[in-house]
Amino acid sequence: MPEHDPLQETLHLLLRERADDVAHTRFGLDVVRGRARTIHRRRVAGATTAAALAVVALVVPTAMLVRGDLRADSVDPAGPSHTPSAIDTANPQPRGPLAWADLTGPPVIHTDDGSTLRPQVDGQLLSFAAAGDDRWLLQVSDDQGRSAEAVLIDDTGTVVMRQAMDSNMGLAGSDDELAVAWLDSKHHVVVLNRGDERPEDWGEVPDGSKPVEVVGCPDECGVVVNEPFEFTMTPYLVTADGASGWHGEWLSQVTDVSPDGRLATGLLPGNEEKLCWGLLDLERNRLEWRTCEQGNLTFSPDGSRLLATPPTTDGFGFFTEYLLDLDGGVLDTIDGGFTGQAWSTSTSWLTVDTASEGAPTTVVRHDLDGSTEVLDGPVSESFPFLLETR
């Protein structure tokens, strides 16, 4: 510090005196661990909603499934290149409302028929997804948040399968409850099909990969995974036989795939200072539109609308939520403080609302007609509710 500058000298003394006046609050290990659990849940939830382990419908033409072959000029932009797929014939059943978990004590899952399920597991629940036939796949971490297991429970909450998994990545569900997927502790994509008791190992992906969604099951299952690529991410499709495709020319990360597997949303490559999202037509390999005003675009269960947040948020904080049509037009907006948001039915979505971090929190259902209903809470816990992964 230059000695001749009285302002700098005064500033130094001022800061020291002010710092000495601070009342000394001491945090014990238990308090730090508690906050660490909250942070870990947020990280996993963010990884689940913003990035994804997804099983993807194989409506992408076979030619696109060979890594490196998907090029903008390789597909007739106007051609009706629709390839018959499992999505066309599977006639997926509509899903019930979204479930949520109450984490204020031992986890309680509130299921779509209004009943509750108490998983017989220890540790903290980081994410959960429907595995079909009233079974649920849970991501459960130890108290320190250092390791995690994928735990399958039946309709009584009894554990029927468990396997070590990547503790930093969430689960990926399918829109039709036909499969769930995750990364095991060795970065292998693991898929559990509806009705199966043992998962299938679909092979290794690079460290740092994030699974997004499972589609195309049961006949042509695939998992969309955002893989680290040089200094960014690139989405790949991982299948049981090891085939994979990528959409690197359009999206740097896939956020969601439409229920019919024909459209995808995701982050566009570009300047990291300005995040922009786009809607990609997978069949035509064409970017339909882009926006730098909304991000984290997720499809409604019927694929007719999109739920969105501002592009820079990780889904936690005060911001505006957007309801968009498939052309990117804004249908509705909601302002508030949120720690979670996801489609429930084709005409409603759930949010976890809070006035501030640690303030009373509620689970709220929003309907397209503008009505709202508080489904749970308020409770004054940190991160008390967790929405189901779909």
Least gap, CB of 39 to other proteins (angstroms): 5
Least gap, CB of 206 to other proteins (angstroms): 18
Beta-carbon count within 10 A of 133 CB = 10
Least gap, CB of 311 to other proteins (angstroms): 12
Evaluate the CA torsion angle 110, 116, 117, 122 in order and state its sign.
positive
Q: Pick between residue 37 and residue 95 the one whose CB is nearest to other proteins.
A: 37
The structure tokens listed for 301 are 């269960």
Distance CA 39, CA 145 (A): 9
> Among all chains, which residue has been given the structure tokens 């037009």?
329
Say if CB 175 and CB 221 are below 8 A apart.
Answer: no
Q: Pick between residue 112 and residue 142 the one whose CB is nearest to other proteins.
A: 142
Interface residue list for other proteins (CB under 8 A) = 1, 4-8, 10-12, 14-29, 31-33, 35-36, 38-40, 144-146, 312-314, 316-319, 337, 355-357
Least gap, CB of 6 to other proteins (angstroms): 5
The structure tokens listed for 323 are 């309801």
Distances in Å between the alpha carbon of 166 and those of 38, 133, 210, 258? 17, 25, 10, 26
11 membership: H or E segment, kind and range = helix 6-20
Least gap, CB of 122 to other proteins (angstroms): 15
Beta bridge partners of 204: 188
Q: Pick between residue 18 and residue 122 the one whose CB is nearest to other proteins.
A: 18
Least gap, CB of 216 to other proteins (angstroms): 36
Distance CA 97, CA 175 (A): 12
The structure tokens listed for 304 are 């007719």
Least gap, CB of 26 to other proteins (angstroms): 6
Q: Pick between residue 246 and residue 316 the one whose CB is nearest to other proteins.
A: 316
Q: Pick between residue 23 and residue 78 the one whose CB is nearest to other proteins.
A: 23
Say if CB 253 and CB 280 are below 8 A apart.
Answer: no
Distance CA 212, CA 167 (A): 15
The identity of residue 188, as a single letter, is H
How do beta strands 53-55 and 210-215 pair? parallel
Q: Pick between residue 118 and residue 186 the one whose CB is nearest to other proteins.
A: 186
Q: Pick between residue 5 and residue 133 the one whose CB is nearest to other proteins.
A: 5
What is the three-class DSSP state of 178?
A: coil
Say if CB 253 and CB 265 are below 8 A apart.
Answer: no
Least gap, CB of 139 to other proteins (angstroms): 16
Q: Pick between residue 145 and residue 340 the one whose CB is nearest to other proteins.
A: 145
Q: Pick between residue 229 and residue 319 the one whose CB is nearest to other proteins.
A: 319
How do beta strands 53-55 and 200-204 pair? unpaired
Evaluate the CA torsion angle 353, 54, 158, 95 in order and state its sign.
positive
Least gap, CB of 7 to other proteins (angstroms): 4
